[in-house]
Amino acid sequence: MIDESMDKEQMKKPPQPWEFRSKPTWQRFIIMIGGVTVNFLLAWFIYTTLLVYKGESYLDNSKLKYGMYVNEVGQKLGLKTGDKVVSIDNKKVEKFGDVVMGILLGDQITVIRNGKEVKIKLTDEDKKIILENQGDFISPAFPAKIDSILPNSVASKSNLKKGDAIVKIDGKPIKYWDELTENIQKHKTDSLELIVNRNNALIDLKIYVPKEGKIGIAPDVSEIKTFATTKKYDFFEAIPKGFNQTIDVLTKQVRQFKLFNSKSEGYKHVKGPIGIVNLMPKTWDWMFIWKFTAMFSVWLAFLNLLPIPALDGGHIVFLLYEMITGRKPTEKVLEIAQIIGFIIVMGIMLLVFGSDIYHLIFG
């Protein structure tokens, strides 16, 4: 077998009993799928263990009382604030956290809008918009009600109080917290006129927004907590659930390949080591680390299975050919395939690192 060393002299010598190339085809096949199998089993083990010890917590899509808040990016897709997602490609969406990826990979989203069912077709141009904005276009909608005010902040020096519900900004009615923060961001180094509901009395206020675009208020999330669902699993329940989670990650990874077409321009948003580091939380979060490790392990398994010479998947293709035909590919074929595979892998690495560097410099 021609390997990464490209040692032709070694290949001219008779195969030794301890060498890989002297082993039966079925043994070589098992060896080649060994790494992929371990990656998959590791992810399955991590997901299963997390389910046993921590269970599964998520925002239940069916419980979102106010639907979702949709910013300007989401509105370009045809979504509106207050929409409640029912299904994507006719498949019910249970978790709100699955909506963005579902829209990115789906062809049609069904929502409830003003009591009526509305179907929205998703195009490659829509996917391009989502990728350009890194999936930041929807969030769970909840009331614009203040829970706390930071000391020494702009808000602490105003007449805003805990429990105030903002109902208007510069004369424009608002309902949801994200509407409030979005308006504040748009008025940096400017003043805003607010109307707040305090104990059923409407009060006019004026507040200055500093250049940071924050005034020092935190939302009342007591209601949004009621939208959450937590499921507990015993060991035997967690095993099949962990397997399903592993398969789900693998399936999404495969489906994401369609985003690499020229219209959605997914190839421009590939992330490498630099991009991955930027996704990490700023503070230690062991749950995130373990979930990321499991997901990354599935990614490695999938990438290694790609039928590219120089990767495990490429060697597996040649072994399958040998098992079916009973003939080994010639050394010349293996050598050429190895060179082609090396060029492909190097090209992918250049694309990934180039994308990382570009986004690091230009954002």
Residue 249: φ, ψ to 5°: -65, -45
Task: Tell me: do 175 and 190 sit in the same domain.
Answer: yes
The answer as to whether 228 is a domain residue is no
The answer as to whether 216 is a domain residue is yes
So what's the pLDDT on residue 2?
A: 45
Task: Tell me: do 83 and 118 sit in the same domain.
Answer: yes
Residue 5: φ, ψ to 5°: -75, -20
**Cβ contact 198:161 at 8 Å:** yes
The answer as to whether 227 is a domain residue is no
Of 188, 220, 252, the residue at which a domain comes to its end is: 220
Q: How many domains does the chain have?
A: 3
Of 104, 124, 141, the residue at which a domain comes to its end is: 141
Which residue in 91, 87, 78, 84 sits closest to 65, CA to CA?
84
Domain that holds residue 284: 1-54+234-363
So what's the pLDDT on residue 254?
A: 82
Task: Tell me: do 251 and 202 sit in the same domain.
Answer: no
The answer as to whether 77 is a domain residue is yes
Which residue in 295, 296, 282, 269 sits closest to 356, CA to CA?
269
**Token pair listed for 211:** 């250049």
Task: Tell me: do 291 and 338 sit in the same domain.
Answer: yes
Instruction: Give this prediction's pTM.
Output: 0.76
Instruction: Please identify every stretch of the chain with a pLDDT value under 70, giving residue numbers as ranges.
Output: 1-18, 20-22, 135, 260-284, 352-353, 355-363
HSE at residue 347, side-chain half, CA atoms within 13 A, is 8
Task: Tell me: do 350 and 262 sit in the same domain.
Answer: yes
Look up the CATH number of the domain holding residue 173.
2.30.42.10
Task: Tell me: do 64 and 181 sit in the same domain.
Answer: no
Helices (H) and strands (E) in the chain, counts: 11, 14
Which residue in 41, 18, 77, 93 sits closest to 242, CA to CA?
41
* Reduced 3-state DSSP string for 23-76: CCHHHHHHHHHHHHHHHHHHHHHHHHHHHHHHCEEEEEHHHCCCCEEECHHHHH
Per-residue pLDDT tens digits for 128-175: 888 777 767 899 999 999 999 999 889 888 889 999 999 999 999 999
Task: Tell me: do 16 and 134 sit in the same domain.
Answer: no
The answer as to whether 226 is a domain residue is no
The answer as to whether 225 is a domain residue is no
So what's the pLDDT on residue 329?
A: 83
So what's the pLDDT on residue 79?
A: 94
Per-residue pLDDT tens digits for 35-62: 899 999 999 999 999 999 999 999 999 8
Of 83, 106, 141, the residue at which a domain comes to its end is: 141
Task: Tell me: do 156 and 196 sit in the same domain.
Answer: yes
Task: Tell me: do 153 and 209 sit in the same domain.
Answer: yes
Task: Tell me: do 68 and 104 sit in the same domain.
Answer: yes
Task: Tell me: do 32 and 79 sit in the same domain.
Answer: no
The answer as to whether 13 is a domain residue is yes
Task: Tell me: do 130 and 199 sit in the same domain.
Answer: no
The answer as to whether 173 is a domain residue is yes
Look up the CATH number of the domain holding residue 132.
2.30.42
So what's the pLDDT on residue 277?
A: 56
